[in-house]
Amino acid sequence: MAEISFFSEDIKFSLSNQKEVKSWLIFLVKNEGEHLSDLNIVFVSDERLLEMNREFLSHDYYTDILTFPGNTPGVSGELYISIDRVRENAAERSVDFQDEVHRVMAHGVLHLLGYNDKNDEEIKTMREREVFYLNLRSF
């Protein structure tokens, strides 16, 4: 059985519809032909994610998500999501905050499935998959 857990590390944030999000993410993985074994989603501040970006990737810039693959069979890993960055991106793009949170979670899971976003073609494919799965949400 897939295990998805939500945490907040240095901020107060709780996802209101965890049960629905879990089902949606499990569906996303199954629809891609894989099975989800375990996934931790950790909500953090901009500063915490910047610190992690510097430490683990030697990148000195803010980002909305860092994805770390796990080592158990199937799709597993940890998603660290900056709620500050998601909130700012939602405002800049004039999209609903919850929609942006869901998009970023889908983005991280797609990375765990092997999708990349290093060049224009990969970015286009990633965005198409994000939109596809966002449109399939029933909540």
Instruction: With cut-offs at 50, 70 and 90, classify the pLDDT of residue 2.
Output: confident
The structure's pTM equals 0.96
pLDDT above 80: residue 139: yes
Q: Given the DSSP bridges, would you call strands 3-8 and 65-69 parallel, antiparallel or unpaired?
A: unpaired
In angstroms, the CA 59 to CA 111 distance is 18
Statement: residue 1 has pLDDT above 90: no
Residue 131 CA to chain centroid, in angstroms?
13
pLDDT digits (tens, 9 = 90+) for 43-75: 999 999 999 999 999 999 999 999 999 998 899
Q: Flag whether pLDDT at 125 surpasses 80.
A: yes
**81: domain range?**
3-135
Q: What CATH number corresponds to the domain at position 46?
A: 3.40.390.30
Alpha carbon of residue 99 to chain centroid:
12
* Count of structural domains within the chain: 1
Share of the chain above pLDDT 90, in %: 95
